[in-house]
């Protein structure tokens, strides 16, 4: 019997037991659909994380002091105080791959305006910081170097601060808030950036000239971090090398001394995030694959029942000229037709379900052609794998005993 006729006769055989065929397929349908949904959620999350990461700024380079070592025990990164404004001046002077650079000084203070107060972090930065982090203003004027020179008591606030302090809907521009006990005039409101890739509220922030924060709040000459941006994606590596070179000179490190600072780039962070999200995708797909396996075992079970039930039919086929191989092919193809049909329905259900997840749960889902092709191939393999044993049982039946079977 040729392949086409085998497929036709498989469909006929499966149609004879519509409800049972449907129930058998259900296992595979659910399995395939969940693989597709899980992969689409995984992919969606990955893309989401990536776009949030890109929101950090373009070609961002972060320089932090390295961890202190007390008697060989490393402390938390950034616990050493090695970075100074002098470092920035040296980098600016010698580095050619850098577009912008800014110190970062952090402090946590109570903010007060009228009867409202809110605890938040204050960042002391230079005028270039906004361009490094891709920040823009909803209202107000951009930072000028003049403010830095004069340690001006001016600041920008994020959207969260605005809603916490200006509860009656006032325009915050020009208003004076107290940071700790020092009055600062608000000169701009930052455009909302939402949560960072790590779940931080990026709008819960006050930005002020670093000189103001240094002189009026922290009183320390050390910097927590230095942020820089490279001129382009291609110059990130050379920028990192230049910065390393400058800082080692600036910090008077001898040839074999370790760096007393650490440099992280955005691409490194993105790689980490990507590996986390692919691990999540793998986990989700693994769970879905188990349900597919269970579905496959269901197929094997039903194929066994079918072989027993159709013993007489097998006997008739053997008597009228089928070889054992013909019978094997017939049952194998029936199993494959069953799983591929189920897989096809599963793919459609999976696509619809992931659209549904996206619209109900508000999670981004992305269906890749790879996940569809892979589920299709896996379905055929499941059909062959789980159909093989029942089919072999059918092919090994003795024609006379099969004919006598009632």
CA-based R_g, the chain, Å:
33
Q: Is 187 helix (H, G, I), strand (E, B) or coil?
A: strand
Contact flags string 9-38 toward another protein, x per CB under 8 A: ---x---x----------------------
Q: Which stretch binds another protein (CB under 8 A): 197-205, 215-223, 255-263, 312-320?
A: 312-320
Tally the C-alpha atoms within 13 A of residue 90's C-alpha that lie toward its C-beta: 17
How many residues form the binding site for another protein (CB under 8 A)? Answer: 22
Structure tokens of 208? Answer: 């002020």
Among 73, 76, 115, 320, binds another protein (CB under 8 A): 320
The DSSP code for 144 is -
Contact flags string 321-350 toward another protein, x per CB under 8 A: xxxxxx------------------------
7 binds another protein (CB under 8 A): no
The residues that bridge with 195 in the sheet, in sequence order, are 201
Tally the C-alpha atoms within 13 A of residue 136's C-alpha that lie toward its C-beta: 2
Q: Which residue, 76 or 320, is less far from another protein as judged by CB?
A: 320
Q: Which residue, 73 or 320, is less far from another protein as judged by CB?
A: 320
Contact flags string 268-307 toward another protein, x per CB under 8 A: ----------------------------------------
Parallel, antiparallel, or unpaired for β 182-190 and 154-157?
parallel
Q: Which residue, 125 or 307, is less far from another protein as judged by CB?
A: 307
400 binds another protein (CB under 8 A): yes
182 binds another protein (CB under 8 A): no
Instruction: Spell out the SS3 assignment of 228-264.
Output: EEECCHHHHHHHHHHHHHHHHHHCCCCCCCCCCEEEE
262 binds another protein (CB under 8 A): no
312 binds another protein (CB under 8 A): yes
- Quick count: other Cβ atoms within 10 Å of Cβ 359? 10
Residue 196's closest CA among 133, 250, 265, 143? 133
Residues that bind another protein (CB under 8 A): 1-2, 5, 12, 16, 312-313, 315-326, 399-400, 403
């Amino acid at each position: 019997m040729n392949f086409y006729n085998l497929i036709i006769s498989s469909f006929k055989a499966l149609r004879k037991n519509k409800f049972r065929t449907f129930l058998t397929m259900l296992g595979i349908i659910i399995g395939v659909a969940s693989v597709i949904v899980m992969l689409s959620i995984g992919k969606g999350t990955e893309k989401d994380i990536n776009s949030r990461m890109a929101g950090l700024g373009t070609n961002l380079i972060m320089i932090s002091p390295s961890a202190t070592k007390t008697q060989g025990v490393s402390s938390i990164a950034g616990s050493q105080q090695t970075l100074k404004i002098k470092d920035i001046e040296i980098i600016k002077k010698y580095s050619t791959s850098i577009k912008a650079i800014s110190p970062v000084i952090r402090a946590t203070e109570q903010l007060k305006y009228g009867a409202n107060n809110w605890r938040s972090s204050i960042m002391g930065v230079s005028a270039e910081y906004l361009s490094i982090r891709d920040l823009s203003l909803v209202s107000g004027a951009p930072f000028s170097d003049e403010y830095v020179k004069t340690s001006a008591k001016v600041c920008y606030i994020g959207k969260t601060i605005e809603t916490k302090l200006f509860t009656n809907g006032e325009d915050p521009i020009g208003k004076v808030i107290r940071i700790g006990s020092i009055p600062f005039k608000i000169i701009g409101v930052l455009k909302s950036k939402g949560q960072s890739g790590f779940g931080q509220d990026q709008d819960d922030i006050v930005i002020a000239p670093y000189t103001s924060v240094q002189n009026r709040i922290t009183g320390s000459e050390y910097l927590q971090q230095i942020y820089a941006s490279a001129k382009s994606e291609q110059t990130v590596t050379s920028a990192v090398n230049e910065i390393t070179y400058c800082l080692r000179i600036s910090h008077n490190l001898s040839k074999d001394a370790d760096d007393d600072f650490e440099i992280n780039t955005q691409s490194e962070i993105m790689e980490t995030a990507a590996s986390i999200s692919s691990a999540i995708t793998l986990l989700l797909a693994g769970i879905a694959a188990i349900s597919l396996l269970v579905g496959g075992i269901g197929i094997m079970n039903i194929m066994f029942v079918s072989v027993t039930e159709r013993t007489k039919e097998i006997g008739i086929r053997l008597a009228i000229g089928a070889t054992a191989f013909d019978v094997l092919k017939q049952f194998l193809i029936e199993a494959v037709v069953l799983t591929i049909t189920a897989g096809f329905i599963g793919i459609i259900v999976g696509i619809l379900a992931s659209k549904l997840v996206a619209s109900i749960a508000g999670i981004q889902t992305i269906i890749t052609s790879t996940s569809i092709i892979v589920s299709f191939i896996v379905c055929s393999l499941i059909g062959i794998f789980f159909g093989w044993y029942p089919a072999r049982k059918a092919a090994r039946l003795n024609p006379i005993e099969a004919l006598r079977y009632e």
